């Protein structure tokens, strides 16, 4: 990375929902390497604290601050309390990464209202609530970055995940609308859209394929990897690099975009 971009996020407060594992953990590591102070949010405090301890150890004593908040992103009261506590600890949020998400699957006619509602609440309403909590601080500071980790499921359709696809399409629509509202306020709003990525969610999908079809793990993995023209799963670090670039100097003109990180699956 160019020398003038080293530690470009030094002192900035970066909040990452779903920050304890997978893509969220990779984003946290990338932001910490740029000197950011972090709030990791997620459902499981123990997992967040474990990740925070690792980040502090990697950065060196006192180099960065890492705060943790347990939160249910689908509940307005939980989100408001978590962001209020994070702001008290580390100051106003400069960068928000909406990464928390769930991917439930079922054929459309077996998609019960509870599953439909859960996919909307966690993936779409959670993004709305967290952004609504973080945005006032960005407006007051006159600078901010909102990055929504959507999915290629927000850009195209996949069978058996209609509720998830609908929610992620909604995230991209929200991204585009808010980007226009913030265009004159030095706040950019973008979505990053990973294809199938080597995370727990995809490992669960592989287990589901094995259980329902009797295929081997190798065959189940190949079923998912074939969507990627490169013939592989995306690495969490590759998604993190795209997110990080959107926070760094030189990306100011990029807003309202849905950036596919999928080996060419979506063009």
Q: Report, as residue numbers or ranges, the catalytic residues.
A: 164
Burial environment of residue 118 by CB neighbours within 10 A (0 to 12, 13 to 18, 19 or more): middle
- Cα angle vertex 27, ends 189, 139, to 5°? 30
Both tokens of 19, joined, read 């920050």
Backbone angles phi, psi at 261, to 5 degrees: -115, 85
Per the DSSP assignment, residues forming a β-bridge with 261 are: 194
Helix (H) or strand (E) holding 14: strand 13-17
Distance CA 10, CA 6 (A): 9
**Long-range contacts formed by 64-67: CB under 8 A, 24+ apart:** 64/32, 64/35, 64/36, 64/37, 64/38, 65/37, 65/38, 65/89, 65/90, 66/32, 66/37, 66/38, 66/39, 66/40, 67/37, 67/38, 67/39, 67/40
């Amino acid at each position: 990375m160019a020398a003038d971009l080293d530690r470009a996020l030094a002192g900035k407060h970066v909040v990452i929902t779903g920050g304890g594992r997978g893509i969220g953990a990779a984003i946290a590591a990338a932001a910490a390497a740029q000197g950011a102070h972090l709030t990791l949010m997620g459902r499981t405090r123990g997992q967040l604290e474990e990740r925070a301890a690792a980040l502090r150890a990697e950065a060196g004593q006192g180099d960065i601050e890492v705060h943790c908040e347990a939160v249910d992103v689908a509940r307005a009261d939980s989100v408001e309390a978590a962001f209020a506590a994070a702001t008290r600890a580390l100051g106003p949020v400069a960068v928000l990464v909406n990464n928390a998400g769930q991917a439930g699957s079922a054929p459309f006619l077996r998609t019960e209202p509870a599953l439909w509602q859960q996919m909307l609440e966690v993936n779409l309403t959670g993004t709305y609530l967290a952004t609504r909590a973080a945005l006032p601080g960005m407006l007051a500071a006159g600078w901010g970055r909102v990055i929504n980790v959507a999915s290629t499921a927000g850009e195209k359709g996949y069978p058996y995940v209609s509720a998830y696809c609908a929610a992620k399409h909604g995230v991209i629509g929200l991204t585009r609308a808010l980007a226009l509202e913030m265009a004159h306020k030095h706040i950019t709003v973008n979505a990053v859209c990973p294809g199938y990525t080597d995370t727990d969610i995809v490992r669960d999908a592989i287990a589901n394929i094995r259980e329902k079809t009797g295929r081997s793990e190798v065959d189940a993995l190949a079923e998912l990897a074939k969507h990627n023209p490169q013939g592989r799963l995306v690495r969490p670090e590759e998604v993190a690099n795209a997110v990080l670039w959107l926070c760094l100097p030189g990306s100011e003109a990029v807003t309202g975009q849905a950036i596919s990180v999928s080996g060419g699956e979506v063009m």
